[in-house]
Amino acid sequence: MWQIRAAQDMKKFLSQFLNAEKIVLKGSVLDSNLLDIYSDVDMEIHLPESAELDITMLIAELCQQFNPIFGYEAHCHDDCAVLRICFENGQRFDLTIFCGSVKKIDINSFADGIDVMVNQFWFTASMVLTKLGRKDYLIASHLALGLCQTVIVIQMMLRDNEKCTNIHRFGGAEDVPVLESLVLGEGGTKEKILSLLFHAAKHMDEVCILLGLRYAAKSDVLENLRKLFII
């Protein structure tokens, strides 16, 4: 399993980059009998009480030091942050960082807000594959449907940005392409969830390209992860 070596590499990096006082491994990485290819690496990182964590800088440095980032979600609080991240090689980490204060991700523009949602979308997409691999079709379905909703939310944000308002008494009879993914073809439950997942991914790529953001389509990377997980 990849987790043992990856945990040591991540631990070494965080110790140096964040000047961590203590790093504690958690979860299945402590018991090889529980590890499978879908397992992530759980860590608690304790920084000095006076330390400020810059979550944006940490994410950028992780991308430089390891593989390109497929997706992530960050939950920031006053004195701790949880960063859940998936790299393009399929390795996932769940990092809980305790510190004196947290400098949260700045959302100063429409593009910043979209970027956060897009990264969370792709992280969730990786979780759909994980749940499918472990045959948890209920949660996989729930997450895949949520991805479709995210695409629609971004379309709504795009409309708000174009019209400079979020108050719309009437809509514009807009096309909602992602709805096509809800009309699924033949196949079992797993095949239908995969169809839903990849349709949502396709439409996310199209919406973000339409926005003109500096954004690389990731449906192909998702397909590579599907093959890696033998789903």
Mean pLDDT of the residues in the chain? 89
- Cα-Cα-Cα-Cα torsion 199, 213, 40, 226, nearest 10 degrees, comes to 30
Comparing CA positions, the residue from 108, 132, 101 lying closest to residue 197 is 132
State pLDDT tens for residues 170-206: 666 666 667 776 756 667 888 889 989 999 999 899 8
Q: Given the structure tokens 């954004």, which residue do they identify?
A: 215
pTM of this prediction exceeds 0.85: yes
Torsion angles phi and psi, residue 142, rounded to 5: -60, -45
Q: What local confidence, expressed as pLDDT, does residue 169 receive? A: 65
- Please state which CATH number belongs to domain 110-228: 1.20.120
State pLDDT tens for residues 84-134: 999 999 999 999 999 999 998 888 887 788 888 999 999 999 999 999 999
Length of the chain: 231
State pLDDT tens for residues 102-116: 998 888 887 788 888
Q: Is the pLDDT of residue 24 over 80?
A: yes
CATH 3.30.460, domain 3-103, yes or no: yes
Q: Is the pLDDT of residue 25 over 90?
A: yes
206 contact partners, CB below 8 Å, separation of at least 6:
177
Equal fold, 3-103 vs 110-228: no
State pLDDT tens for residues 36-71: 999 999 999 999 999 999 999 999 999 999 999 999
- Domain spans of the chain, in order of start: 3-103, 110-228
